[in-house]
Structure 1
Amino acid sequence: MATFTQWLEGARPRTWPAAIAPVLLGTGCAAALGARHWDRALLALVVAVALEIGVNYANDYSDGIRGTDDDRSAGPVRLVGQKLAAPAQVKTAAFASFGLAALAGLLLVALSGAWWMLAVGAAAIVAAWFYTGGSHPYGYLGLGEIFVFVFFGLVAVLGTQLTQAASITLAGWAGAVGVGALSCAILMANNVRDIPTDSETGKRTLAVRLGDVPARRTYVAMVAWAFLASLVGAAQHPGAALSLAAIGLAVRPAQAVLGGAQGRALIPVLAATGRLTLAYGLAYGLGAALWPSW
C-alpha cells in the first residue's frame, strides 16, 4: 500500500505552479480593474489545483494500466506502474479530485453569475481524463500541449479574471498566453526526459514527434514567448512588465535543456520551470494590480 508521501509524489507537486500561477495572474488583472474578490480567487485556486492533481492521478492510472510506466527509471513516483497502489484506488483519487474541482467551480459560477462557465468546467474535466484515458488518448498523439495551453493558460487566467471583474482585458489575454506557454514548457521538459521510453511504448508526445533537439529548442521558444506576452500586457497595465524580472529564473533550465541534459538530470529542470511559472504569474498579477495604468 502506498504511503502518504508516495501519494503526494504521485500528485506531482512540481506541476502545481501551472495551476497556481494563472489564478494569481488572473486575480491581479481583475484587481487592475478595481475588482478583487478573495473568496472567488480562492475558489478558482481550488478548481485549478484540484484539476491539476486529478489529471496527474488520471495519467498515472491510464499510463499504468497500459504498461507505459513499467520501465520508467526517472521522474516522479508512478503509483500504478510501480505497483504501489491498486489501479482502482488511483482512479478513485483522480475522480475525487475532479469532483472537488467541479464543486468549487459550481460555487464560483454561482457567486459570479457566469453560469455558462459550467460547460467550460465540464469540458476541462473531460479533457483531463481523455488526455491519457480512453481508447484513443490525445496525449499519445502529441496534442497534450493544446490541452495545457487552453485549460491551464486561457481558461484558468481568463476564467479567474471574468468571475471577479465580469470582463476580460488585453492584459488578461496576454497573461493567459504567457502562463499557458510556460505551462506547456513544464510539460515539454517532462516529455523530453521521457522521449526514450515513450518512443518504445508508442506514446507519441509532441517531444517524440519533434525529436530530441527540436523539442529542446521548442522548450526555449515557449519560455521566450511568455516574456514577449508580458510586453503586450504592459501596453495596457504597465505593471505587467514586472514579470520580466523572472527571466533570471529561466537561464539555468534553458541551459540544461539546450545542453543536452538527459533522464534524471532533467528533473531539476521540471522543478525550475515550475518555479519560473509561479514567479511569472505572481509578478505579472502583482504588477498589474499595483500599476494598472500609465
Structure 2
Amino acid sequence: MNPHIWLMAARPRTLPAAAAPVLVGTAYAATLGTFRPLTFIATLLGALLIQIGTNLSNDYSDARRGADTEDRLGPVRVTAGGLVPPKQVLIATYVAFGLAVLVGVYLVVTSGWQLLLVGLLSIVAGVLYTGGPRPYGYEGLGEVFVFLFFGIVAVTGTFFAQREELMWEAFVLAVPVGLLATAILMVNNIRDQETDRRAGKRTLAVRLGRDRSRIGYALTVYLAFATAPLAWAFGGEHLTPWLLLPWLALPLAAPVVRVVRNKVDGPSLNGALARTGMLQLAFCVLLSAGLLLSK
C-alpha cells in the first residue's frame, strides 16, 4: 500500500490540534517547576495517535453513511474514494487507538489512574463523532466536543500528567487553545456545507447557514486572542504580561479569516484549513513561550 495514501488518511493538517494543547499544558507545568521529558513525549505521542485514530474512524464512518461523495470540495477520503478497502481502514483505526492505549498505560503508571479515564473518554469521543447509532458530529455538536477534548481536556490532562494536580489557571489557559481547535473544524464544515446538507449531516455550519457560520469562525478565532491573557489578568500564579505574546500571531489570523469570509472554492478553503491549523500551532508555541518566560 502506498504510504502517501495512509498519510492522506491520517489528515496531517489536523495534527497541530493534537500537539498544541500538549505544548501549553507542559509549558505551564514547567513554569511551576515541573518538567518530565518522558511524560511530555508520551503525552504528545498519545495525543497524536488518538487524533489519527479519530481521523481514520471518521473516514470509515462517513463513507458508510454516504457523507463523503465525489462532489465534495475537500481532499479525497481514502475509504469513500476506493483507495483503501474499508476493512483495512477499520483495522488501522484499531491499531492507532491500540497504540494510544499502550502509551496511556505508561502515563497511568507514572502519573495516576485519572489519565486512564481521560484517554478512554477521548477515544470514545473520537469514535462517536461520526460513528455509532447517533453520531454527534451529524447533530451540530462537533464544535462543542472539539472545544472540550482538544482544549479543556487536553491542556488540563497534560498539566495533570506533569504535576499530578489540577489548577484553575490550566482551565483558563485551555480556553483559547480549544477555540482555535474549534476553528479548524469550523473551516472543514464550512467547506463541506453543501455536501453535508445533502447527506443529512447537520453540522453547525449547515444549521447556521453560510454567512453566519463564517462570522462564527471569525469570532472564534479572535476570541482566542482575547482570552489568551486571562489567566494572568485574573492573578494566575507565576503568570505575567508575557501571556500577551500570542498576539504576535494576529497577522497570521487576519488573512485566513478573510479567506474564509470571502472564498467558496475548495482549494481556497482547503488552504484555510491548513493555515488555521498552523495558526493554532503558532499561537500555542507563543503562549507556551509566554508561560516559560513568566518563570
Q: TM-score, normalised by structure 2?
A: 0.95
Aligned partner of 2:247 among 210, 225, 244: 244
C-alpha distance after superposition, 1:151-185 (max 9, x if no partner): 11111111111111223334322221111000000
- Tell me if structure 2 keeps the 8 A contact 1:231–1:241: yes
5+ residue gaps, structure 2, are: none
Q: Check if 1:273 corresponds to 2:276.
A: yes
- Residue type at the aligned position of 1:263: G
Residues 38 and 72 (structure 1), Cα distance of their counterparts in 2 relative to 1, 3 Å cut: farther
- Tell me if structure 1 keeps the 8 A contact 2:21–2:177: yes
- Tell me if structure 2 keeps the 8 A contact 1:141–1:204: yes
Aligned to 2:36: 37
Aligned to 1:176: 174
Structure 1 residue 77, shift from structure 2 partner: 2.9
- Tell me if structure 2 keeps the 8 A contact 1:185–1:219: yes
Aligned to 1:211: 209
Calculate percent identity across the aligned residue pairs.
44
Residues 171 and 163 (structure 1), Cα distance of their counterparts in 2 relative to 1, 3 Å cut: same
C-alpha distance after superposition, 1:112-144 (max 9, x if no partner): 1x2122122111111111110112111100111
Structure 1 residue 84, shift from structure 2 partner: 0.5
- Tell me if structure 1 keeps the 8 A contact 2:72–2:192: no
- SS class of match (2:207): helix
- Tell me if structure 2 keeps the 8 A contact 1:24–1:282: yes
Distance 1:111 1:220 in 2: 40
Distance 1:169 1:229 in 2: 17
Structure 1 residue 109, shift from structure 2 partner: 1.9
Larger deviation, residues 103-112 vs 211-220: 103-112
Larger deviation, residues 12-21 vs 98-107: 98-107
Aligned partner of 1:254 among 254, 257, 272: 257
Alignment of 1:83-102 (within 5 A): 83-102=82-101
Structure 1 residue 247, shift from structure 2 partner: 1.3
Distance 1:126 1:72 in 2: 30
Aligned to 2:9: 10
- Tell me if structure 1 keeps the 8 A contact 2:107–2:115: no
5+ residue gaps, structure 1, are: none
Aligned to 2:27: 28
Residues 168 and 245 (structure 1), Cα distance of their counterparts in 2 relative to 1, 3 Å cut: farther
- Tell me if structure 1 keeps the 8 A contact 2:45–2:100: yes
Larger deviation, residues 236-245 vs 49-58: 236-245
Distance 2:170 2:288 in 1: 9
Aligned to 2:65: 66
Aligned to 2:161: 163
- Tell me if structure 2 keeps the 8 A contact 1:154–1:176: yes
Distance 1:88 1:177 in 2: 37
Larger deviation, residues 24-33 vs 242-251: 242-251
Aligned to 2:137: 139
- Tell me if structure 2 keeps the 8 A contact 1:243–1:280: yes
C-alpha distance after superposition, 1:259-278 (max 9, x if no partner): 24332220110011001100
Distance 1:182 1:64 in 2: 27
Aligned to 1:200: 198
Aligned to 1:185: 183
Structure 1 residue 217, shift from structure 2 partner: 0.7
Alignment of 1:117-128 (within 5 A): 117-128=115-126
Larger deviation, residues 235-244 vs 165-174: 165-174
- Tell me if structure 1 keeps the 8 A contact 2:183–2:221: yes
Cα RMSD after superposing both structures: 1.3
Distance 1:4 1:71 in 2: 22
- Tell me if structure 2 keeps the 8 A contact 1:240–1:284: yes
Distance 1:100 1:248 in 2: 38
Structure 1 residue 203, shift from structure 2 partner: 0.5
Q: TM-score, normalised by structure 1?
A: 0.95
C-alpha distance after superposition, 1:210-243 (max 9, x if no partner): 1111100111111112112212033332222211
